[in-house]
Amino acid sequence: GTYPPNDFGLYDMAGNVWEWCSDWYREDYFKESPKDNPRGPDDPGTKRKVQKGGSFLCSENYCARYKAGARHSGEMEDAADHIGFRCVKDAR
């Protein structure tokens, strides 16, 4: 890796691509979400999914605030060379 591993022993987890997550997106959701495993709002009109991380296309002044937990959103049909996905497993 280019940088030292994170606390989980994983290398280069930020800045590669925006990563699709299965969570539904609403900008203010985390003000009311459960602390453990928030999956997004259960709103019938919600059509956006969470994207996390940041992309290699981000300029330094635009993406300086991004980290692995940064949240963004996109339409489920969106596709580009700077959007990937995140494989995850519940910790339980």
Domain residue spans of the chain: 1-32+43-92
High-pLDDT (> 70) share of the chain, %: 82
Distance, in Å, from the CA atom of 38 to the CA atom of 32, rounded to the nearest integer, reads 10
pLDDT digit string (tens) for 18-27?
A: 888 888 888 8
Q: For residue 68, what are the contacts with CB-CB under 8 A and spacing of at least 6?
A: 6, 13, 14, 52, 53
**Residue 1 above 70 pLDDT?**
no
End-to-end CA distance of the chain: 29
> What are the tens digits of pLDDT across the range 35-59?
888 888 877 777 888 888 777 777 6
Contacts of 5 (CB under 8 A, 6+ apart): 11
pLDDT for 65 beyond 70: no
Strands (E), the chain: 18-24, 48-53, 71-75, 83-85
Q: Is the pLDDT of residue 64 over 60?
A: no
